[in-house]
Homo-oligomer: A and B are copies of this chain.
Amino acid sequence: MAGAMAGAIETVRRVGDLRARVRGWKAEGLRVGLTPTMGALHEGHLSLVARALEATDRVVATIFVNPTQFGAGEDFSTYPRDEARDGALLARAGASLLFAPPVEEMYPPGFATEVRVSGLTDCLCGAARPGHFDGVAQVVTKLLNQAEADAAVFGEKDWQQLAVIRRLARDLDIPTEILGAPILREADGLAMSSRNRYLTAEERAVAPALARALTAAAAEIAGGRAPAEACADAAAALQAAGFRAVDYVDCREADSLAPVQSAPPARPARIFGAAHLGRARLIDNLPVPGAGR
Protein backbone atom coordinates (compact mmCIF):
# COMPACT_ATOMS: atom_id res chain seq x y z
CA MET A 1 0.00 0.00 0.00
CA ALA A 2 2.85 2.39 0.71
CA GLY A 3 3.78 4.80 -2.04
CA ALA A 4 7.00 4.10 -3.92
CA MET A 5 8.13 7.70 -4.41
CA ALA A 6 10.65 9.14 -1.97
CA GLY A 7 8.87 11.46 0.45
CA ALA A 8 5.52 10.09 -0.61
CA ILE A 9 2.84 9.27 1.92
CA GLU A 10 0.91 6.02 2.09
CA THR A 11 -2.27 6.73 0.17
CA VAL A 12 -5.59 4.89 0.18
CA ARG A 13 -8.62 5.58 -1.98
CA ARG A 14 -11.27 3.25 -0.55
CA VAL A 15 -13.18 3.65 2.70
CA GLY A 16 -12.50 0.01 3.57
CA ASP A 17 -8.74 0.54 3.36
CA LEU A 18 -8.97 3.73 5.42
CA ARG A 19 -10.97 1.94 8.11
CA ALA A 20 -8.62 -1.01 8.20
CA ARG A 21 -5.64 1.26 8.86
CA VAL A 22 -7.44 3.35 11.49
CA ARG A 23 -8.85 0.30 13.27
CA GLY A 24 -5.39 -1.25 13.30
CA TRP A 25 -3.99 1.80 15.07
CA LYS A 26 -6.87 1.89 17.53
CA ALA A 27 -6.39 -1.79 18.30
CA GLU A 28 -2.82 -0.86 19.30
CA GLY A 29 -4.25 1.72 21.69
CA LEU A 30 -3.24 4.69 19.52
CA ARG A 31 -5.43 7.76 19.18
CA VAL A 32 -6.17 8.83 15.62
CA GLY A 33 -6.59 12.36 14.26
CA LEU A 34 -8.18 13.52 11.02
CA THR A 35 -7.43 16.63 8.93
CA PRO A 36 -9.86 16.95 6.02
CA THR A 37 -8.62 19.18 3.18
CA MET A 38 -9.31 19.87 -0.48
CA GLY A 39 -5.60 19.68 -1.29
CA ALA A 40 -3.64 22.60 -2.77
CA LEU A 41 -1.95 22.62 0.59
CA HIS A 42 -0.21 25.55 2.23
CA GLU A 43 1.29 26.09 5.68
CA GLY A 44 -2.18 26.62 7.12
CA HIS A 45 -3.13 23.04 6.29
CA LEU A 46 0.13 21.74 7.68
CA SER A 47 -0.63 23.54 10.94
CA LEU A 48 -3.84 21.46 11.11
CA VAL A 49 -1.71 18.32 10.95
CA ALA A 50 0.53 19.73 13.70
CA ARG A 51 -2.54 20.48 15.83
CA ALA A 52 -3.86 16.97 15.27
CA LEU A 53 -0.50 15.52 16.31
CA GLU A 54 -0.76 17.39 19.60
CA ALA A 55 -4.06 15.63 20.34
CA THR A 56 -3.51 12.20 18.78
CA ASP A 57 -0.84 9.64 17.87
CA ARG A 58 -1.48 9.08 14.18
CA VAL A 59 -2.88 11.58 11.69
CA VAL A 60 -4.91 10.83 8.59
CA ALA A 61 -5.14 13.68 6.10
CA THR A 62 -7.82 13.63 3.46
CA ILE A 63 -7.81 15.32 0.08
CA PHE A 64 -11.17 15.50 -1.60
CA VAL A 65 -12.42 18.34 -3.75
CA ASN A 66 -16.07 17.84 -2.89
CA PRO A 67 -18.34 18.65 -5.84
CA THR A 68 -21.47 19.05 -3.68
CA GLN A 69 -20.15 22.16 -1.91
CA PHE A 70 -19.44 24.11 -5.11
CA GLY A 71 -22.17 26.12 -6.76
CA ALA A 72 -22.78 26.64 -10.46
CA GLY A 73 -20.13 28.98 -11.85
CA GLU A 74 -17.76 28.38 -8.93
CA ASP A 75 -14.26 26.96 -9.27
CA PHE A 76 -14.84 23.20 -8.81
CA SER A 77 -13.31 22.21 -12.14
CA THR A 78 -10.37 24.62 -11.89
CA TYR A 79 -9.64 24.15 -8.19
CA PRO A 80 -5.89 23.39 -8.02
CA ARG A 81 -5.02 19.69 -7.73
CA ASP A 82 -1.48 18.39 -7.15
CA GLU A 83 -1.64 15.25 -5.06
CA ALA A 84 2.03 14.28 -5.39
CA ARG A 85 3.20 17.62 -4.00
CA ASP A 86 0.50 17.61 -1.32
CA GLY A 87 1.38 14.07 -0.25
CA ALA A 88 5.03 14.96 0.19
CA LEU A 89 4.09 18.00 2.29
CA LEU A 90 1.77 15.90 4.46
CA ALA A 91 4.46 13.28 5.03
CA ARG A 92 6.92 15.96 6.05
CA ALA A 93 4.32 17.47 8.41
CA GLY A 94 3.99 14.13 10.17
CA ALA A 95 0.77 12.71 8.74
CA SER A 96 0.78 8.91 8.50
CA LEU A 97 -1.85 8.30 5.86
CA LEU A 98 -3.54 10.13 3.01
CA PHE A 99 -7.12 9.28 2.12
CA ALA A 100 -7.81 10.60 -1.37
CA PRO A 101 -10.99 8.99 -2.65
CA PRO A 102 -12.35 9.36 -6.17
CA VAL A 103 -15.73 11.05 -6.45
CA GLU A 104 -17.49 7.75 -7.15
CA GLU A 105 -16.22 6.30 -3.86
CA MET A 106 -17.89 9.17 -2.02
CA TYR A 107 -21.04 9.48 -4.12
CA PRO A 108 -21.80 6.14 -5.77
CA PRO A 109 -24.84 5.75 -8.03
CA GLY A 110 -28.07 5.97 -6.05
CA PHE A 111 -26.61 8.31 -3.44
CA ALA A 112 -29.56 10.18 -1.92
CA THR A 113 -28.79 11.54 1.55
CA GLU A 114 -28.53 15.18 2.50
CA VAL A 115 -27.37 16.71 5.77
CA ARG A 116 -28.42 20.24 6.59
CA VAL A 117 -27.61 22.52 9.50
CA SER A 118 -30.19 25.29 9.75
CA GLY A 119 -29.69 28.71 11.29
CA LEU A 120 -25.88 28.84 11.28
CA THR A 121 -25.87 28.44 7.52
CA ASP A 122 -28.27 31.26 6.66
CA CYS A 123 -25.81 34.14 6.98
CA LEU A 124 -22.33 35.12 5.72
CA CYS A 125 -21.02 32.57 3.19
CA GLY A 126 -24.28 30.62 3.50
CA ALA A 127 -26.16 33.59 2.09
CA ALA A 128 -23.51 34.29 -0.56
CA ARG A 129 -23.10 30.65 -1.63
CA PRO A 130 -26.52 28.90 -1.50
CA GLY A 131 -26.17 25.18 -0.83
CA HIS A 132 -22.47 25.45 0.01
CA PHE A 133 -22.80 24.42 3.64
CA ASP A 134 -25.23 21.62 2.78
CA GLY A 135 -22.41 20.15 0.71
CA VAL A 136 -19.92 20.75 3.51
CA ALA A 137 -22.21 19.14 6.10
CA GLN A 138 -22.76 16.16 3.84
CA VAL A 139 -19.13 15.45 3.05
CA VAL A 140 -17.84 16.12 6.56
CA THR A 141 -20.46 13.79 8.06
CA LYS A 142 -19.21 11.15 5.64
CA LEU A 143 -15.50 11.77 6.30
CA LEU A 144 -15.99 11.68 10.07
CA ASN A 145 -17.96 8.44 9.89
CA GLN A 146 -15.51 6.94 7.41
CA ALA A 147 -12.41 7.66 9.47
CA GLU A 148 -13.80 6.93 12.97
CA ALA A 149 -11.06 9.23 14.27
CA ASP A 150 -10.82 10.36 17.88
CA ALA A 151 -10.38 14.00 16.86
CA ALA A 152 -10.66 16.05 13.68
CA VAL A 153 -9.09 19.45 13.07
CA PHE A 154 -10.56 22.25 10.95
CA GLY A 155 -9.16 25.71 10.38
CA GLU A 156 -10.61 28.84 11.94
CA LYS A 157 -10.09 30.57 8.58
CA ASP A 158 -13.39 28.94 7.65
CA TRP A 159 -14.96 29.94 10.96
CA GLN A 160 -18.54 29.48 9.86
CA GLN A 161 -17.69 26.05 8.46
CA LEU A 162 -16.12 25.14 11.81
CA ALA A 163 -19.28 26.28 13.64
CA VAL A 164 -21.43 24.22 11.27
CA ILE A 165 -19.25 21.15 11.76
CA ARG A 166 -19.25 21.48 15.56
CA ARG A 167 -23.04 21.73 15.42
CA LEU A 168 -23.60 18.72 13.18
CA ALA A 169 -21.11 16.55 15.05
CA ARG A 170 -22.89 17.33 18.31
CA ASP A 171 -26.40 17.01 16.83
CA LEU A 172 -25.73 13.74 15.02
CA ASP A 173 -23.68 12.33 17.93
CA ILE A 174 -20.63 11.69 15.81
CA PRO A 175 -18.07 10.35 18.29
CA THR A 176 -15.18 12.50 17.05
CA GLU A 177 -13.92 15.57 18.90
CA ILE A 178 -13.90 18.67 16.68
CA LEU A 179 -10.90 20.95 17.13
CA GLY A 180 -10.25 24.35 15.60
CA ALA A 181 -6.83 25.62 14.54
CA PRO A 182 -5.90 29.33 14.33
CA ILE A 183 -5.58 31.18 11.03
CA LEU A 184 -2.09 31.34 9.59
CA ARG A 185 -1.19 34.59 7.86
CA GLU A 186 1.44 35.79 5.43
CA ALA A 187 3.88 38.44 6.68
CA ASP A 188 1.61 41.20 5.35
CA GLY A 189 -1.45 39.82 7.16
CA LEU A 190 -3.18 38.03 4.28
CA ALA A 191 -4.83 34.86 5.57
CA MET A 192 -3.31 31.81 3.90
CA SER A 193 -5.67 30.23 1.38
CA SER A 194 -5.41 27.88 -1.55
CA ARG A 195 -7.27 30.46 -3.57
CA ASN A 196 -4.55 33.08 -3.05
CA ARG A 197 -2.76 31.43 -5.96
CA TYR A 198 -5.49 32.74 -8.26
CA LEU A 199 -4.21 36.28 -7.59
CA THR A 200 -2.03 38.18 -10.06
CA ALA A 201 0.97 40.02 -8.60
CA GLU A 202 -1.00 43.22 -8.64
CA GLU A 203 -4.01 41.65 -6.91
CA ARG A 204 -1.73 39.96 -4.40
CA ALA A 205 -0.51 43.43 -3.38
CA VAL A 206 -4.11 44.53 -2.83
CA ALA A 207 -5.22 41.39 -0.96
CA PRO A 208 -3.95 42.30 2.56
CA ALA A 209 -6.49 45.14 2.55
CA LEU A 210 -9.07 42.54 3.63
CA ALA A 211 -7.34 41.68 6.91
CA ARG A 212 -6.50 45.37 7.43
CA ALA A 213 -10.11 46.47 6.94
CA LEU A 214 -11.42 43.78 9.29
CA THR A 215 -8.79 44.62 11.92
CA ALA A 216 -9.70 48.30 11.77
CA ALA A 217 -13.43 47.60 12.02
CA ALA A 218 -12.89 45.20 14.94
CA ALA A 219 -10.90 47.85 16.80
CA GLU A 220 -13.60 50.45 16.16
CA ILE A 221 -16.35 48.11 17.40
CA ALA A 222 -14.27 47.27 20.46
CA GLY A 223 -14.02 51.02 21.03
CA GLY A 224 -17.79 51.46 20.94
CA ARG A 225 -18.61 52.28 17.32
CA ALA A 226 -21.83 50.77 15.96
CA PRO A 227 -20.97 47.49 14.18
CA ALA A 228 -23.10 48.33 11.12
CA GLU A 229 -21.18 51.58 10.59
CA ALA A 230 -17.76 50.06 11.11
CA CYS A 231 -18.60 47.20 8.73
CA ALA A 232 -19.94 49.56 6.06
CA ASP A 233 -16.72 51.57 6.22
CA ALA A 234 -14.65 48.39 5.92
CA ALA A 235 -16.63 47.31 2.87
CA ALA A 236 -16.10 50.72 1.29
CA ALA A 237 -12.37 50.47 2.04
CA LEU A 238 -12.24 47.12 0.21
CA GLN A 239 -13.93 48.57 -2.85
CA ALA A 240 -11.56 51.53 -2.77
CA ALA A 241 -8.55 49.21 -2.48
CA GLY A 242 -9.53 47.38 -5.66
CA PHE A 243 -11.77 44.52 -4.58
CA ARG A 244 -14.31 43.87 -7.29
CA ALA A 245 -17.33 43.00 -5.13
CA VAL A 246 -17.87 42.64 -1.42
CA ASP A 247 -20.12 39.73 -0.40
CA TYR A 248 -20.23 40.87 3.21
CA VAL A 249 -18.44 42.53 6.08
CA ASP A 250 -20.37 41.56 9.19
CA CYS A 251 -19.96 41.44 12.96
CA ARG A 252 -21.44 38.32 14.56
CA GLU A 253 -21.32 36.39 17.81
CA ALA A 254 -18.49 33.88 17.70
CA ASP A 255 -20.52 30.76 18.55
CA SER A 256 -24.10 31.40 17.44
CA LEU A 257 -23.21 33.69 14.50
CA ALA A 258 -26.12 35.86 15.66
CA PRO A 259 -25.82 39.49 14.48
CA VAL A 260 -24.12 41.90 16.88
CA GLN A 261 -25.75 45.30 17.16
CA SER A 262 -24.22 46.74 20.33
CA ALA A 263 -20.68 47.98 20.81
CA PRO A 264 -18.64 46.83 22.51
CA PRO A 265 -20.33 43.41 22.11
CA ALA A 266 -21.63 41.72 25.26
CA ARG A 267 -20.45 38.27 24.20
CA PRO A 268 -17.41 37.03 22.25
CA ALA A 269 -17.77 38.40 18.73
CA ARG A 270 -15.90 38.26 15.45
CA ILE A 271 -15.87 40.29 12.31
CA PHE A 272 -16.22 38.39 9.06
CA GLY A 273 -15.45 39.47 5.50
CA ALA A 274 -15.72 37.99 2.02
CA ALA A 275 -14.84 39.82 -1.16
CA HIS A 276 -13.87 39.14 -4.74
CA LEU A 277 -10.47 40.14 -6.07
CA GLY A 278 -9.73 39.25 -9.67
CA ARG A 279 -10.93 35.68 -10.06
CA ALA A 280 -10.44 34.85 -6.36
CA ARG A 281 -13.06 35.06 -3.65
CA LEU A 282 -11.20 35.75 -0.39
CA ILE A 283 -12.60 35.30 3.11
CA ASP A 284 -11.19 36.20 6.51
CA ASN A 285 -12.33 36.68 10.09
CA LEU A 286 -10.91 37.85 13.39
CA PRO A 287 -12.05 38.49 16.95
CA VAL A 288 -13.39 41.80 18.21
CA PRO A 289 -10.80 42.56 20.91
CA GLY A 290 -12.12 42.23 24.44
CA ALA A 291 -15.67 41.37 23.38
CA GLY A 292 -17.59 39.40 25.99
CA ARG A 293 -14.74 39.41 28.50
Closest to A137 in B: B113
Does B19 contact A175, Cβ atoms closer than 8 Å? yes
Asked if A96 is an interface residue, CB under 8 A from chain B, the answer is no
Chain A 171-188 against B: per-residue CB contact (8 Å), 1 yes, 0 no? Answer: 111110000000000000
Chain B residues contacting A19 (CB-CB under 8 Å) are 175
**Of A117-125, A216-224, A226-234, the one touching chain B:** A117-125
Copy count, this protein chain = 2
> Residue A142 at the B interface, CB < 8 A?
yes
Grouping DSSP codes into helix (H, G, I), strand (E, B) and loop, the A interface class, with mixed when no group exceeds half, is mixed
Contact between chains at A171 and B112 (CB < 8 Å):
yes
Checking B118, B142, B145, B173 against A114 with a beta-carbon cut-off of 8 angstroms, the contacting residue is B118
Pick the most buried of A15, A116, A118, A173: most chain B CB atoms within 10 A of its CB: A173
Within 109-154 of A, Cβ neighbours of B (below 8 Å) are at: 110-120, 137, 141-142, 145-146, 148
Q: CA A189 – CA B118 in complex, angstroms?
A: 44
Determine whether A168 belongs to the interface, using a CB cutoff of 8 Å to chain B. yes
The answer to whether B119 and A148 have CB atoms under 8 Å apart is no
State the CA gap A146–B145 with chains docked (Å).
12
Residue pair B115, A119 in contact (C-beta under 8 Å): no
Given A141-B172, A146-B173, A175-B148, decide whether A119 and B114 contact each other with a Cβ distance below 8 A: no
Select one of B112, B142, B175 contacting A167, CB under 8 A. B112
Q: For A119, what are the chain B residues with a Cβ–Cβ distance below 8 Å?
A: 112
Contact A120 B112, beta carbon cutoff 8 Å? yes
Q: How far is the CA of A137 from the CA of B168 in the complex (A)?
A: 14
